[in-house]
Every structure is written in structure tokens, then in C-alpha cells.
Amino acid sequence: MNRPLRHIAVFCGALVLALLVRVTWVQFVQGDELAEDPHNRRVKIEAFSYPRGNIIVGGQPITGSVATSGDFKYKRTYKDGPMYAPITGFASQGIGSSFLEGIYNKLLSGKDDRLALNRAKDILTGEKPRGGDVLTTINPKAQKAAYKGLTDLNAKGAVVALDPRNGNVLAMASTPSYDPSAFAGILDGEKFTQLDKDKSKPLNNRALRETYAPGSTFKILTAAAALEHGVIDDIDTKTGAPAPYQLPLSSVKVGNDVAGAPCDKASLKTGMQWSCNNVFLDTALKVGKDKMRETAEKFGFNADVYDEAFGDLKASKSLYPEKLDKPATALTGMGQGSLTSTPMQMAMVAAALANDGKLMMPHLVDELRGPDLSTIQKFEPKLKSQAVSADTAKKVQQMMEYTVDEGTASKAKIDGVTVGGKTGTAQHGANVNDERPYAWFVSYAKQSDGSSPVAVAVFVDPKDMDIPRAEIAGGKLGGPIAKQVMQAVLGK
């Protein structure tokens, strides 16, 4: 072979070798990355070429798949879509997926490695592939009560209900909401854009992803901190906190919301009964910022966003700040200042206190199931922390139950059932008097054996509601919703 031909042969051989190396690299090194690339249309086409697995509530699917024309053979459907949207999220051919649809996308789409045997069987038998199912902990009656309560008010808001004994999420509603079916198709992107631009923010999950000043509902945590750290021993002993209460290092005096309430120098129990600001401002100041923060963190505050603090739920951080002066520390005692919380977080506080101080990890999924109905994974209850001692929790329970029986939380009363509760009205905004306050309510219900199967947090933003400012109160707006949710769980 002459020299030029030899050079050409070597060059061609090098090109072939380079091609083989590149193909091998793409196939075995970049394969997973390319397969998961959101811009890979062929992957999307394949993902929607057969029915997706379902999300199950109360033994019944709340999702489905319907045949369509075009490249994408099936698209997602939803039963009672707006009611369950904060739980399911969406699975859209054009937009992607979120919440449970996103977290368990591989299982629902049949791509989970644990379904490899099922995929092999489908190939051999020629059957159409199908994804696995996600079985939730949601109680359908409680979810309906939560969603109906908010929509009947025509309010922006959220409701979270937990089973304090095991952390099961029994209800999680957010309003205004949206129907995930509306933009499930490849050509429905404009509908998603319209929802995204909507000033009422229907796509936002207010139960998990937004934080607000918790107002007087936080007083149950302030009480727990004072009892846990020995600042107060007897809930019936007068605190000596004057009403109105002058903030330290300030000329500002904070009054109380309930006219004529016996708040001056009141005990912790009376302070809870009438939601006396002076008692809890003074109590937080005496506990101190460090011990207040320590207690708050045991209930879940300051947990890193999207960590395991919320189990399989991705929630925003609820904040008890580090750098607080004395006035700011006092204000946290009544749930104001720079303190913020998600409705899920306040449900966790109520649940832990109802469960004798044990905070169970909240979780939304009970079981993952294969298309052949076999159990792939079963989720067991997990203790997150002993937030406070059982003795402390029982004393706070006593006060919360007294507040329902004889105080401001009476809207949550259920005949024949022991109920504990706390109202909350939270000022917010750059100038707190300019914005309509948030309305909050937290509660729990007990069974005859003293255990609690349900704890609830209700949040209502009355900004766009057609009611006078004087009518905005946690007990009035949130109390009835909490009662309905508890009744649904109890079967009352």
C-alpha cells in the first residue's frame, strides 16, 4: 500500500474509532441524562404512550388517563381536580409534573427500577405497560370538608389536618385552586400561563409553600416553652403582666382584642382563654429568645427547605429568627414580628401537643403499589422529635380545652367530644394597620381513651372577602371549618 493510501486508511480508522467511542459514551454515560432531559420529545412521547398509574384516596383513584390523538397517546385526567390539586399536583404533556405527580413520577410512569420485572413481563406477554399507584393517607371526607369550608367563604386560605398519632396527612386544601386537567394536554400551555399570571395565585400551595405570621395560634407554643423551661410552673398562678403591655425599650403599648377580658396580670390559663396579648408578650420575654427558638425548632421551625422535616412533603421553612432584641422577642410570644409559619407547621404544633409532646413526621403517602397490586413500599410512622415533655403537653392541652369550653375558641365545640383549640388574628404588612389581618385557628379532638386522631390548622386571608374588618377573627372564620374537618374524621 502506498503512503497516501495508508494515511487515508489510518485517518478513516481513527474516525470510525472516534465514532464508536462517542456512541458508547452517549449510550452508557450520558444515557440517563439524555433520557431525563425535559427537552427530549421522544422521551415525553414514550412516557405518554400508555396509561399512567394512579393516585389513590380512600381506596379510589382520583386520577386517570384518557386516550388522545397525535404523538401523545394518553393524557392525565383528574377527579375533583381543584379539591385535590394541592396533593396531586399536575402531570402535563407540555408543562411537566409537580407534587405527588412529580415526586413519584418514575413509579407512576412505570420507569421506577422496582418495576423492572413488571416491564419484562409486559414485553413477553405483549400487554400494554402501566405505571404503579400511589396510595395516600388522605381522608376523603375530611378533604371535602376542608375544601368546602374555604370555598364557602370564597376565601384565600389553607387547611391542614394531621393524625397526631402517626403523622398521616388527613386533609390538605388550598384556595383558590385549579383543575390540573385544564392543561394536561400538549397544546394547553396557554391555560397554564393564564393561571400563572392570575393575581389570585391559584397555582400556589398555601398549605405548604407560603408562610404567614401565625398570630395568636403561636401562643400555644409560647405556653409550652414557658412550662418546659420552668419559667411558669402553675398555669393558674397570676403572671403579673400588666394590660396594656409596654414593650421593653419602647414607648409602644400593646392592648388586647377581647373587650372587657380579665387580662390584667392574668394567669397563663386565663391568658389562653381570652387570648391576652400582655400575658404572652411577657412570657416570651421571660423565656428568652434562645429558649423560645429552641422549643420552636423542636416543633419543626427553622428546618431547611425541602429536607426531611416534612417527610415526603416539600414545604417552605417556617422561621423563628435568630437575631431578636427584647421587643422583637416579646412580639414572637403572640405570633407577631418577624416570625412566620406555614399552615402545615402550625398543624404540626397542634398535633404534637395533642400527642403528649411527640411530634410524628408528617407524611402524605401510605403505600406504593405495582400495577399488579403488589406492595412496593409501605411507609411506617416515624417520630420526628419529643418536642416537649408529656407533662408540659398535658398542661397546654388543659388550657386549650378550657379555651374551647369557656373562651374564644368555642366555635370548635363538638357535642360529646373533648376538643382543644386556639384562635389567631395576625397583623401583617409594612404598616400592620393597613392590611386586613389573617385569621387562624388550630385545634384537636380526643377520643374516649384520651388519644387524638385529628389535629387541624386553618388559615384564612380575608383580603378580598366582602366582610367588615371587625368580622375578621380566627374563631369566627376558621373555627367552623376546623370543627367540620374534625367531625368528618370522627364520623360525627
- Mind listing the pLDDT tens digit for each residue in 257-270? 888 899 999 999 99
User: Residue 127 CB: number of other CB atoms within 10 A?
Assistant: 12
The mean of the pLDDT values for the chain is 89
Domain locations in the chain? 215-365+381-490
Longest dimension (CA), the chain: 111
Q: Which of 92, 216, 316, 443 is catalytic?
A: 216
What's the average model confidence in pLDDT over 51-77? 90
* Phi (first) and psi of residue 479, to 5 degrees: -55, -50
Torsion angle, CA of 242/243/248/253, rounded to 10 degrees? Answer: -160
Q: What is the pLDDT of residues 219-244, one digit of tens each?
A: 999 999 999 999 999 999 999 999 99
Side chain identity, residue 437: P
Q: Which of 29-38, 189-198, 304-313 is predicted least confidently? A: 304-313
**pLDDT digit string, tens, across residues 139-157:** 999 999 999 999 999 989 9
More confident call, 100 vs 429: 100
Whether the CB-CB separation of 379 and 363 falls below 8 Å is answered with yes
Residue 305 has pLDDT above 60, yes or no: no
Task: List the CATH code of the domain at 215-365+381-490.
Answer: 3.40.710.10
Distance CA(140)–CA(191), nearest Å, equals 28
The percentage of the chain sitting over the pLDDT mark of 90, rounded to a whole number, equals 67
Known catalytic residue: 216?
yes
pLDDT at residue 404, rounded to an integer: 97
Comparing CA positions, the residue from 196, 200, 178, 155 lying closest to residue 81 is 178
**SS3 category, 376:** strand
Residue 308 has pLDDT above 90, yes or no: no
pLDDT the model gives residue 463: 79
Say what percent of the chain tops pLDDT 70: 88
Distance (Å, whole) CA 22 – CA 146:
56
Tell me the HSE value of 244 on the side-chain side, using a 13 A CA sphere.
11
Please tell me the least confidently modeled range out of 3-7, 216-220, 289-293: 3-7
Q: Averaged over 346-363, what is the pLDDT?
A: 97
**How many angstroms separate the CA atoms of 286 and 278, rounded?**
12
Which pLDDT band, with edges at 50, 70 and 90, does 309 fall under? Answer: very low
The pLDDT score that the predictor gives to residue 469 is 73
Residue 180, preceding bond cis, omega within 30 degrees?
no
What mean pLDDT do residues 385-400 have? 98
Give one word for 357, left, alpha or beta, with left for phi > 0 and alpha for psi -120 to 50. Answer: left
